[in-house]
Amino acid sequence: MSQSLSEECTPLKKEYDSCFNSWFEGYLEPAVEAGRAGQRTREANAQKKAEEFEAKCGKIWRQYKSCVTKALKDKGLDTLLEQARQENPLVDPIPPPTSSNSNN
Amino acid sequence: MHFFSQSFQYEHPWSHVIIGMWHKYPNSKCTHVVSVDTLDRSIDPVTGIIRTERVLGCKQKAPTWIVKLFGGSEDAFVREISFVDPATQNVTITSVNLSLSQFATCYEQIRYSPVSPNRTAFTQTAEVQARLALWRSAADRLEQWLVQRFEQNAQLGKSGFSDVLRNLWEERHQASP
């Protein structure tokens, strides 16, 4: 597993990544199935899994996040990051290519 | 502006590729990626789309002329935003450089989508663009500054030489009446 940009945050990062990865592996395939089943099932599944993620990984996430936020500031990356977020918020997925229909 | 693109198919099911995506680094062929940090992550309760914002730290020696001209160092950071959409089985990733971003931007887009139960298509495009507007305004300001400095020096030269001439001829005039 890769390091954090700050040595101090690496243990928290690894614990968070492991937590996310194990949650994600349980999330992905059922979510693909739920997506096929229609909107109601999809929403119910997403809601349930989001709550489960918070319950499992919420605490370690907040610890890791506060560590990495401070590390970004110490390295002077916080302003660059803020500029990048303003210039390009990237709040939506890239739309599918126009030439082909990707819903199959 | 310069472009790069490639596409490829991995012989793995889409879900395996997407689970594997979070394990991509470290790997022995990409030793330039030294750190990966998640800064933000959200799960859309309606669509089930997971949005993740990460910062990747890279170490790569830059040619000396680049380091001299732009400052810069061995450490470069990239901001990456990914969207995992299980319902449409699409992953899209956008990456933009944070380091040296005042001079140029490298904008990369990646997509992973299923081709068949055991194949996943990967497409990658990148645009590299120097910030021409910035170069132009910097060049403009440099020219302006040079012209101003030239004007000042020209004024000083004119009045300085006037003094020299006056002093020289006044002295001679007084010396030999």
pLDDT at site B177: 67
Q: Into how many domains does chain B fold? A: 2
A28 to chain B nearest CA, in Å? 6
CATH number of B62's domain: 3.30.530.20
d(CA A87, CA B102): 12
Q: Are residues B89 and B154 in the same domain?
A: no
Q: Are residues B94 and B56 in the same domain?
A: yes
- A47: Cβ–Cβ under 8 A, 6 or more apart, which residues? B45
Q: Are residues B126 and B172 in the same domain?
A: no
The band of A9, judged by pLDDT with boundaries at 50, 70 and 90, is: very high
Q: Residue A22 has which token pair?
A: 């194990």
Residue B26 preceded by cis peptide, ω within 30: yes
What is the tens place of the pLDDT at every residue in A15-31?
999 999 999 999 999 88
Q: Are residues B113 and B173 in the same domain?
A: no
Q: Are residues B113 and B141 in the same domain?
A: no
Chain B residues in contact with A20 by the CB 8 A cut-off are: 22, 38, 41
d(CA A55, CA B163): 85
CB distance from B51 to chain A under 8 Å?
Answer: yes
Q: Which long-range contacts (CB under 8 A, 24 or more apart) does B115-119 make?
A: B115/B9, B117/B13, B118/B11, B118/B12, B118/B13, B119/B9, B119/B10, B119/B11, B119/B12
Residue of B nearest to A48 (CA): B45
Q: Are residues B115 and B174 in the same domain?
A: no
Q: Are residues B138 and B166 in the same domain?
A: yes
Mean pLDDT of B109-135: 91
What is the tens place of the pLDDT at every residue in A48-58?
999 999 999 99
- Domain extents for chain A? 8-87
Q: Are residues B84 and B144 in the same domain?
A: no
Of A84, A55, A72, A89, give the one whose Cα is nearest residue A13: A72
Chain B residues in contact with A69 by the CB 8 A cut-off are: 39
Strands B90-97 and B104-116: antiparallel
Residue in the block written with tokens 């959200």: B42
Q: Are residues B98 and B118 in the same domain?
A: yes
Q: Are residues B144 and B61 in the same domain?
A: no
CB distance from B77 to chain A under 8 Å?
Answer: yes
Q: Are residues B85 and B35 in the same domain?
A: yes
pLDDT at site A96: 83
The band of A101, judged by pLDDT with boundaries at 50, 70 and 90, is: very low
Q: How many CB atoms lie within 10 A of CB B88?
A: 16
pLDDT at site A99: 60
Residues of the domain holding B166: 133-177
Interface confidence (ipTM) of the complex: 0.92
Measure CB to CB from residue A102 to each of B39, B57, B90 and give the nearest one: B90
In the three-class reduction of DSSP (H, G, I as helix; E, B as strand; rest coil), residue A90 is classed as coil
CB distance from B36 to chain A under 8 Å?
Answer: yes
d(CA B53, CA B81): 5
Chain A residues in contact with B25 by the CB 8 A cut-off are: 2
What is the tens place of the pLDDT at every residue in A66-100?
999 999 999 999 999 999 999 999 998 988 887 64
CB distance from A31 to chain B under 8 Å?
Answer: yes
d(CA B84, CA B16): 13
d(CA B157, CA B117): 81
pTM: 0.83
What is the tens place of the pLDDT at every residue in B138-173?
888 888 988 999 899 999 999 999 999 999 999 888
Q: Are residues B97 and B166 in the same domain?
A: no
- A84: Cβ–Cβ under 8 A, 6 or more apart, which residues? B79, B96, B98, B101
